[in-house]
Amino acid sequence: MIGNPGGPPSATLLPSSSPRIHVRVPAARLLVLLGTLFVASLAAAALALVVARHAGRLDDAERELRTLDLLLAGETERSFQSVRLVLDGVAARLAASGEMTSGTVARRASTKAMHQELRARLSGLPQLEAVTIVAADGRIANYSREWPVRYWNLSDRSYFRAMIERTPDAPYISEPLVDRFTKQPTVYLVRRLSGPDGSFAGIVIGAIRLNYFNRFYETLRLLPGEFIALRRPGGDLITAFPNEGSSDPHLASSGPADAAASGNVPGVRREEPTAADGSSRPRLVATTITHDFSIQVAVGRDEKTLLAGWRSEAWAIGVAVALVGLLTASLLWAILRRWHALELVAIASTERAEAVLARRDVEGALLQAQKMDALGQLAGGIAHDFNNMLAVVSGCLEMLRHRLGSSEDGIGRCLDRSEEAVRRATSLTTRLLSFARKEPARHVAIEVNPVISGIVDLLTRTLGGGVTVDVFLGGDLSDTRGDVSQLENAILNLSVNARDAMPDGGAISITTANVDLEREDPRAPDLDAGRFVQISVSDGGTGMSPETAARIFEPFFTTKGAGKGTGLGLSQVFAFARDAGGTVRVETAVGRGTTFHLYLPTCSQHSVRSAAGA
């Protein structure tokens, strides 16, 4: 029987009859699989929704915090700016009375008219508790709360010492203090008074009520877990709302060290401060620094509060998915129980049908084998008869040469060509017998380059004048093992096919090279790793469609017209490559030509494979 033990690379050489019954997943398993996929898809969609809602909630919270922080920063800036204008007005009033020195400030400020003016300037500024004028020696010269002023000296205050070296245009914000009169938390905005030469002449102080900010923050109706904090440029806390004491994590992390750690960078960031009890309370904090006073305004919200609604949604979605899963499982169980009874009948019917069809397939395969065996016997018989006729012709040619001798050069050349033709015909019958499996292949070491060089003239004569053959032989080409006649026949078959693909003539390229293939190499995935001899035959012809290329190695498949091809040429090529331990691959596209690559193992590869088999 003519066949191919390895099978072609892209199609089965001898396709069996089309199966009538396909292997299928049992209906019960398929139903369970579909139910599982449905529940898994629903769970994945629910998870994606929960994650998206989580990210969306964080984004919304960041926008809300950023907007609120910008509004509070603007309000804080306006509150301090209003106090600064009052202090600038007092300084301008003192400067309008004449040149300011350390002595004149104390004298001009120590009047009842100035006291009344200071009280008048408090009108309409609820955040401003009092205004104080302090002379250069630290003594209070005037005070909006009382007249006459009692003797107090503020030269030991940190804000007084800080203003001695400060420029007039740079206001100073003190640390929070408890006011002596009101006993309430207060922060002081201080302005320097300078003489014409820049000498220190005193200060003007505006006492700002911190309760003013807290009362304003109360109107915002913050959610539990939200807070607002104001810090000085150095990072010290001015005020925080709600102020629950030093144990609150907002206050515990609001000192200069915390400000340095956060970098006082405006924007929204995530923090994880540690409370007094050691617990961590992650939060989102939006920070803005005011333009004129560099006050850091922070608005924060605990993630627990921020994500409370999201957690409720996540639980609701999870419960819904779980209920749907339970409902689906119950429904599948009921269907499967019903299906089980029907499945027994279906199995019996299927087994009977499969037995009938299996017998039909076996009969078809046997018929195909008998037909191919008959064809092989016919081919072998024809080859033997043709060999007998060639023997007669060969004997006659030898008798003619003996009688004529070498007296006639022209006749001698004719005899040489005739004898060469007889040898070629004998070689062809040998290949036909090998194809018919009547004669075993003779595997010997082959030097590929000399074999190809030796058949170039035969190719040129066989292909005709409209086709040129270009040969590019690789250097240091390794030897391979196989049947020399079959190798010559393979190259001849590929060249003839290339010529037929170029009806208007053209060039055929034959190249050889050593190639190293990896395991499952894309060029030849069915071969083991190692070194191979690559023989490529290329043409610039019409090319083939993917459908045609998938069948080219099938016996008796041909695209040529009736009487123009047997369909055995490429099948022989593939059988030769497989018999030699290699393979053949084709690269083609319609209108772009075709290239066949023969991969034959080197002699060393044969040795390795033989050792592995032993």
Q: Are 223 and 140 contained in the same domain?
A: yes
Q: Are 65 and 201 contained in the same domain?
A: yes
Q: Are 337 and 480 contained in the same domain?
A: no
pLDDT bin (cut points 50, 70, 90) of residue 513 is: very high
Q: Are 148 and 280 contained in the same domain?
A: yes
Q: Pull the structure tokens for residue 410.
A: 């022209």
Q: Which of these three, 250, 283, 306, is where a domain ends?
A: 306
List the one residue out of 192, 186, 130 whose CA is nearest residue 161: 192
In a domain, 33, yes or no: yes
The amino acid occupying position 445 is A
Question: In this predicted model, what pLDDT tens digit does every residue of 329-345 receive, in sequence order?
Answer: 888 788 777 777 776 77
The whole-number pLDDT of residue 539 equals 92
Q: Tell me how far apart the alpha carbons of residues 290 and 75 are, in angstroms, rounded to a whole number.
A: 10
The whole-number pLDDT of residue 24 equals 45
In a domain, 29, yes or no: yes
In a domain, 6, yes or no: no
Q: Tell me how far apart the alpha carbons of residues 311 and 45 are, in angstroms, rounded to a whole number.
A: 17
Give the residue numbers spanning the domain of 332: 309-414
3-class secondary structure, 293: coil
Region of poorest pLDDT, from 196-205, 277-286, 413-422, 537-546: 277-286
Q: Tell me how far apart the alpha carbons of residues 131 and 390 are, in angstroms, rounded to a whole number.
A: 133
The whole-number pLDDT of residue 533 equals 93
Do the Cβ atoms of 257 and 264 come closer than 8 Å? no
Region of poorest pLDDT, from 12-26, 203-217, 428-442, 542-556: 12-26
The amino acid occupying position 551 is R
Q: Tell me how far apart the alpha carbons of residues 444 and 411 are, in angstroms, rounded to a whole number.
A: 36
Q: Pull the structure tokens for residue 107.
A: 């004298």
The whole-number pLDDT of residue 206 equals 92
In a domain, 150, yes or no: yes
Question: In this predicted model, what pLDDT tens digit does every residue of 299-323 receive, in sequence order?
Answer: 888 877 777 778 788 888 888 888 8
The whole-number pLDDT of residue 524 equals 82
The enclosing H or E element of 401 equals: helix 308-404
The whole-number pLDDT of residue 536 equals 94
User: What CATH number does residue 287 fall under?
Assistant: 3.30.450.20
For 126-179, give the secondary structure using H, E and C.
CCEEEEEEEECCCEEEEECCCCCCCCCECCCCHHHHHHHCCCCCCCEECCCEEC
Q: Are 337 and 383 contained in the same domain?
A: yes
The whole-number pLDDT of residue 275 equals 57
Mean pLDDT of the chain: 78
Region of poorest pLDDT, from 208-212, 286-290, 319-323, 521-525: 521-525
In a domain, 419, yes or no: no
Do the Cβ atoms of 215 and 185 come closer than 8 Å? no
Q: Are 282 and 396 contained in the same domain?
A: no
Half-sphere exposure of 503 toward its Cβ, with a 13 Å CA cutoff?
Answer: 4
Q: Tell me how far apart the alpha carbons of residues 440 and 460 are, in angstroms, rounded to a whole number.
A: 29
- Is the predicted pLDDT of residue 135 greater than 60, yes or no? yes
pTM: 0.46
**DSSP 8-state symbol, 465:** T
| Most distant CA pair in the chain, distance | 161
- Is the predicted pLDDT of residue 609 greater than 70, yes or no? no
The whole-number pLDDT of residue 96 equals 80
In a domain, 527, yes or no: yes
Q: Tell me how far apart the alpha carbons of residues 55 and 472 are, in angstroms, rounded to a whole number.
A: 64
Task: Report the domain count for the chain.
Answer: 3
Place of tokens 């019996």: 348
Region of poorest pLDDT, from 77-86, 175-184, 332-341, 540-549: 332-341
- Considering 95-104, 143-152, 548-557, the range whose residues carry the highest mean pLDDT is 143-152
Q: Tell me how far apart the alpha carbons of residues 495 and 491 are, in angstroms, rounded to a whole number.
A: 6
**Rounded mean pLDDT, 533-544:** 91
Strand partners, 90: none
Q: Tell me how far apart the alpha carbons of residues 463 and 508 are, in angstroms, rounded to a whole number.
A: 10
Q: Are 503 and 359 contained in the same domain?
A: no
The better pLDDT of the pair 184, 567 is held by 184
Q: Are 253 and 152 contained in the same domain?
A: yes
Region of poorest pLDDT, from 55-64, 268-277, 300-309, 576-585: 268-277
Query: Distances from the Cα of 613 to the Cαs of 482, 484, 578, 610, in angstroms?
Result: 18, 24, 17, 5
Q: Tell me how far apart the alpha carbons of residues 547 and 529 are, in angstroms, rounded to a whole number.
A: 29
In a domain, 2, yes or no: no
Q: Are strands 506-517 and 467-472 parallel, antiparallel or unpaired?
A: parallel
Q: Tell me how far apart the alpha carbons of residues 70 and 304 are, in angstroms, rounded to a whole number.
A: 23
**DSSP 8-state symbol, 579:** H
The whole-number pLDDT of residue 450 equals 92
Q: Which of these three, 237, 272, 306, is where a domain ends?
A: 306
In a domain, 367, yes or no: yes
Q: Are 532 and 448 contained in the same domain?
A: yes
Q: Tell me how far apart the alpha carbons of residues 582 and 443 are, in angstroms, rounded to a whole number.
A: 13
Region of poorest pLDDT, from 176-180, 287-291, 591-595: 176-180
Share of the chain above pLDDT 90, in %: 8
Q: Pull the structure tokens for residue 260.
A: 């340095």
User: What CATH number does residue 598 fall under?
Assistant: 3.30.565.10
Q: Are 44 and 146 contained in the same domain?
A: yes
The whole-number pLDDT of residue 262 equals 41
**Rounded mean pLDDT, 557-575:** 69
Share of the chain above pLDDT 70, in %: 79
**DSSP 8-state symbol, 13:** S
Q: Which of these three, 306, 323, 341, is where a domain ends?
A: 306
With both helix axes pointing from N to C terminus, report the angle between 569-579 and 484-500 in degrees, rounded to the nearest 10.
140
The whole-number pLDDT of residue 326 equals 86
Q: Are 219 and 366 contained in the same domain?
A: no
The whole-number pLDDT of residue 428 equals 64
Q: Are 235 and 356 contained in the same domain?
A: no
